[in-house]
Structure 1
C-alpha cells in the first residue's frame, strides 16, 4: 500500500530565522521520525541547500526546488502544479493557502495579531491578511494553531471552533548541554561581548525594542559593564528607534550591539552566554525565544501579555511591558540576584518536559486518520 504523501510549504526557509521556521523544523523532524512508515513528507522551497541543513536526516529526494520568489505565482500556479505532479494527498501551509485546491489542505494559523493590535500594522496589511487568513481557515480541511490565545482569537474573529492546538516546542538543538564557558569564549572572540543582555526577535513595533533600550540606559547598565544585544532583522520600521539610537553619545552607543542575521549554531552560543534574556513583546501568538533561552538554563524575564501569560514556569519573572516601572524593576532585580542556579535548573527541566513536539504531531496524525 502506497504511503500517504504530505507536502510542506517551506518557503519560509528562504528567509531569516523566525518562529515559523522553528515550528516547521521541529514539527516535521519529529513527525518524519515517528511516522516514517506511513508517510512520505516533501518540502518545497527555493533554497533546498538550506532545507538540507535544517533537515539533515531527510533524504534530499524529498526536497522540491521552487523556481519563483513571488508569493502570488507560488500560490496560484507553482505549488498546485507541484501537488499534481507528485500526487500529493495532503499539503500543509502556514497562514495562507493556494487559490487552487487539488488535495487536502492543512493550515496552521500562528496568530491574528493584526486584529488584536491594529495600530501596529498598516491598513493594507490588515486588510489583506484578514481576507487571506480567513480564507485559509475556510478552505482547509485540518485547521491548526499554536496556543490557546490564538485559538480564542480565531473563535472570536471568525467563529471557527474546529481548530486543533499543536503548540510550539523546543527543537533538538536547544536540548543539548552546551558548555557555558565555551559559549562565553566564542561570543567574546567573535563579537567582543562579555556581559550582555539579550533580545532575539525581528524588529517591529509590537516587539517593543525601544522600551528595552530605554530601561537599559535608564538603569545606567552600560556604565556598570553591561552590553545590550539585539539579534533580528529590521522587519517593520519602529517609530523612534532609529532616532533614539542616533542620539546616543559615543560612549553610550559602545554598549549597544545589533546583529541582523546569525546562523543557528551561533545563536546557541549567543543565547547560552547571555547574562539575562529579555522578551518585552506586546503580543505573540506563542513566543518561542523565551522557552529556547530557558531550555539552555539562561535567566529569562518575559512579557505577561497575550500568549505569554501561559508561561507559568517564569512565575516572578513575568512583567507587564506597558508598565515601565514594573519592567524596570524586574530587570534590575534579576541582574542583582546571583543565586539562581537551582531555580534556573528547575525552569530548564520544566520547559524541556512540557514543550516537546510529541503531542502536536500526534494531533495532526489523528486528524489525518479521521479524514483518510
Structure 2
C-alpha cells in the first residue's frame, strides 16, 4: 500500500470528529489554554492520574503494599537496562494512607512513622511528591488520593488493577523526577491550542501512531509501516512543526510513558531480564487503532504518551545510542524516524537489506 494512502479509510471518522469539535469550539467562543485543554479532552492514556493510581478502595492495604513491592522487586532492577542512569534498584517508593506509611524498595517493605513523611510534604494538596530520602530519592504517593471510580467504561484503555496502577504511577512519576535531577532541558513552547483546529493536525499524528503500532506487531512489514510513519510525521512537521506546542510533552511525557510501560511489562514478564519477552508484554499496554482511541488525538497532549510508548519500544528494539537525544529537544518519534526514507522502505530498520 503506498504510504500516502496508508490508513485513510479507517481514520476518516477522526477527520469528521475534529471538524465537529473545532466548530463547537468556535460556536461557544472557547479558547483552550494549557491545563484547560487537558481537562476538555476525554483522557485515554493508560497512565492518566485518574486511572493509573486507582486502588479501587476495597482492597486490603497491607496486601496492596505487599503486591506493589513484589512488582518493584521484579522489575526495578531492569530499569538500568531500559534507561541507563535511573538506578532503579537504589530508589524508594513511599506509600501513605491515613495514619500509615510504608517504605518500599527492591528488598522489601518497612513501616514508617506517618509524621516523618508529612514533615517532608509540600504545603499544597498532593497526590504524590518527590523528596530526598536516605541516600537516594523517593516518590511519595497518598493512596487515599489515588482511589476513585470516575473512569468511564467507554474510554480506553481500561484501568490496570490497583497494585499495578499505583506501581505504574510511582514509576512514571519517578522518571519525571529523574528528568529534573538530570537537568533535562526540553523545549518550552506555550501550550496553546488555536481554533479553528484543522483536521490534519490530529489526523497526521494518529496516522503516525497507527503505523508505529503496526510496526511493533507486523514484523514482516515493519519497514513498510515505519516508512508510512515517516511519511505522516514529515507531513505533520512540515505543516505544523513551526507551531508545535506538543514538543515539550512529546519529550517529557513520551519518554516517561515509554519507561513506565517497559517497567510494568517487566513486572508482568516471567523473566524480566529477557528483552524479547518484555517487549512482547509491553504490546498489551499499547493499543490498536480504533474509534475509541480518537480522543487521545483531539485537543490535548494525551497523544504524547501513547506515541512515546510505541516509538520508544521500537527504538530500544533497534539498538543504538539514541537516549541522549531525548534529553535535549528531540522526541522519541523524531529520533526513530529521522533519516528513515518515506519511500525507500528498506532503510528504516537496522539490519534491513537496504541499509539504515
TM range (shorter): under 0.3
Query: Which structure features the higher share of strand residues?
Result: 1
**TM-score normalised by structure 1 residue count:** 0.25
TM-score, normalised via structure 2 length: 0.26
Greater RCO structure (CA 8 Å; 6+ sep): 2
